[in-house]
Structure 1
Amino acid sequence: MTAAEQPADDERPDPRRLTSVEQRIDAAAHRLLAGAPEHGAKAKLLEFLVFGAKQAWACVFGAALLAVIVAARLWYPDDAWLARNDALTLAAIAIQIVMLATRLETGRELWVIVLFHLTGTAMELFKTDVGSWSYDGDGVLRIGAVPLFSGFMYAAVGSYMVRVYRLFDLRFTRYPRRWLTAVVAAAIYANFFGHHFIVDFRWLLLAAVVVLWWPTMMHFRVWRRVHRMPLLVAFGLVALFIWFAENIATWGGAWLYPDQLDGWHPVSASKLVSWFLLMIISVVLVTFVYRPREPDAPTER
């Protein structure tokens, strides 16, 4: 990213600005860890544990929604007066309300999550119509064949993306121009629809992603130290964990692919490419809320 693309300091949203609840949690964590060693094996182990705790905190919306899906699969009665899909929708709405009421999400972040919800629902309507996957037919809280809770699964990805950005104070070196990333993201989104009618360009788009983000390094603060990794590696790791969550969700009956209708089995690993490309759409949307920033100082590996 060039200097001209970077906003002035007073225009930049500060990703380190925690919500009031997170500030209290952060203060309590610092008191707890005040006497922790700064070097050696124990310090590295502690840094790893803090990293895991922050990741779990960033995933709180998705984890809560996934827990509800699994609980509904295990314990929700088939003959309940409220259809299972409707119960999932109401539960998803309740989770979102709690996130806002307890200041676990900011109003600014809610807008990008709503955008994830809308773009995801639009894709769901098309994909279910062409038979890419399907939902149970019960419930009234739906648009066509798509129960409304499905949009919240995309919103969960959006929630994670915006939260991880500020929890880890993400910074980037050699980030591509945002207009180029927007063009690639739009092409990826269009291909999710267009490959049913014309040539599937996913491999060409994957190559474009690699070329565009290959030089980019992501810098992230865990606790005392700032670490870095290639941004493409981060994309791949997030896509992998979404694929794991997808396996849990399909086992829970949230939706099924055609080859799972006769009995559940793990989702094809080929879906990792789809999730990787979907990650690009997610990242680009988030950069229009939190503009990519350069590191303040040299960082450690």
Structure 2
Amino acid sequence: MMTDAATDAPGPRPLAGLFRFLGHQLWAALFAVILLAAILGTKLIWQEGWALTRYDALVLIAVASQVAMLAFRLETWDEFKVILLFHLTGTVMEWFKVSAGSWSYPEAGVIKLFDVPLFTGFMYAAVGSYIARSIRLFDIVLAPFPPFGLVVALAVGIYANFFAHHFLPDIRLALFAASVLLFFRTRLTLTAGGRRRSVPMLGAALLVAGLLYIAENIGTFTGTWVYAGQKAWEPVRLGMLGSWYLLFFVSFATVLVVFRGACRPGPWLRSNRASGPAHRSEARGSGS
């Protein structure tokens, strides 16, 4: 549950505050919003006989959007570094998953490599863009944050399991448990509507997983990609929520390679009342 880190000023009415918060989230997720709008829009208007294929148009839209966001300073170069890294790691995973038959891209396209249209890397990059922009726009602080080496180890284990479970036992249950062990005390403090607010890190991970699940259904509804055995559109199986939940931690660890300043190390395995006010004071100070 989200709580206020500062209560000395009256806040907006709950509904207005909710809409404002959602608006801020959409602004932070601008790149993802553009890509989803492009996926839906091109599906509605594209004709089979056009010289430019829909997949290739999506690549060009993604590149143009990225250039525009940098040109208009909606994205920083540090954020672009994160996006580039996400694009590379996401594309590698797409190559593997498509070759393994997990899903496919049924439409034609020139800008395709190993049967994967290259706009797919931008979909993973959009997750990184959202997290990176959120840290900057909302002045996010993560405290108490576990040792960064353990966070990286968790992210590497999750990423490796996306590949290895095709050949070895699936260890995602152990990875779920590790994520809870590492982050069950961590809170994400942010500025929203002029106030500092706090939400559990694990709750944020579940929220992002839910949003990605909605985006996944938009992709399959438009036929942009098709899961193995899918004949006609049907909702993506709920089990995918677990995959997106785990991917969130890969995303966050990657972003924090560049945005380490958002992390506040602390007693992540035990309660320490003395450290709580210090974290809260530091979080308030970072938003001024």
The TM-score normalised by the length of structure 1 is: 0.83
Counterpart CA distance in 2 for 1:263 and 1:46 is 39
Secondary structure in 1 matching 2:104? coil
Indicate if the aligned counterparts of 1:227 and 1:299 stay in contact, CA closer than 8 A. no
Deviates more, 1:42-51 or 1:141-150: 42-51
Indicate if the aligned counterparts of 2:53 and 2:108 stay in contact, CA closer than 8 A. yes
Which residue is equivalent to 2:281?
A: 297
Q: CA RMSD in A?
A: 1.6
Secondary structure in 2 matching 1:297? helix
Q: Could you tell me how far 1:228 is from its partner in structure 2?
A: 0.9
Counterpart CA distance in 1 for 2:235 and 2:14 is 35
Secondary structure in 1 matching 2:49? coil
Counterpart CA distance in 1 for 2:200 and 2:40 is 34
> Are 1:196 and 2:180 matched, yes or no?
no
Counterpart CA distance in 2 for 1:230 and 1:78 is 47
Deviations 1:160-206 (A, max 9, x none): 01001111111122110111000010010000000000100111111
Q: Could you tell me how far 1:47 is from its partner in structure 2?
A: 3.2
Which residue is equivalent to 2:34?
A: 64
Q: Could you tell me how far 1:299 is from its partner in structure 2?
A: 7.2
Which of residues 222, 228, 247 in structure 2 aligns to 1:252? 222
Q: Could you tell me how far 1:298 is from its partner in structure 2?
A: 7.3
Counterpart CA distance in 2 for 1:254 and 1:154 is 15
Q: Which amino acid aligns with 2:281?
A: A
Q: Which amino acid aligns with 2:238?
A: A
Which of residues 85, 89, 104 in structure 2 aligns to 1:115? 85
Query: How do 1:139-178 residues align onto structure 2 when only pairs under 5 Å count?
Result: 139-178=109-148
**Does the C-alpha gap of structure 1 residues 298 and 183 become closer, same or farther in structure 2, counting only changes over 3 Å?**
closer
Secondary structure in 1 matching 2:139? coil
- The structure that is strand-richer by fraction is 2
In structure 2, list runs of 5 or more residues that go unmatched.
1-8, 265-278
In structure 1, list runs of 5 or more residues that go unmatched.
1-37
Q: Could you tell me how far 1:43 is from its partner in structure 2?
A: 4.5
Q: Could you tell me how far 1:259 is from its partner in structure 2?
A: 3.2
Indicate if the aligned counterparts of 2:141 and 2:283 stay in contact, CA closer than 8 A. no
Counterpart CA distance in 2 for 1:232 and 1:79 is 47
Which residue is equivalent to 2:244?
A: 275
Q: Which amino acid aligns with 1:73?
A: K
Identity %: 44
The TM-score normalised by the length of structure 2 is: 0.87
Deviates more, 1:235-244 or 1:47-56: 47-56
Q: Which amino acid aligns with 1:82?
A: L
Secondary structure in 2 matching 1:174? strand
Which residue is equivalent to 1:74?
A: 44
Counterpart CA distance in 1 for 2:86 and 2:15 is 35
Counterpart CA distance in 2 for 1:89 and 1:64 is 12
> Are 1:128 and 2:68 matched, yes or no?
no
Deviates more, 1:284-293 or 1:55-64: 284-293
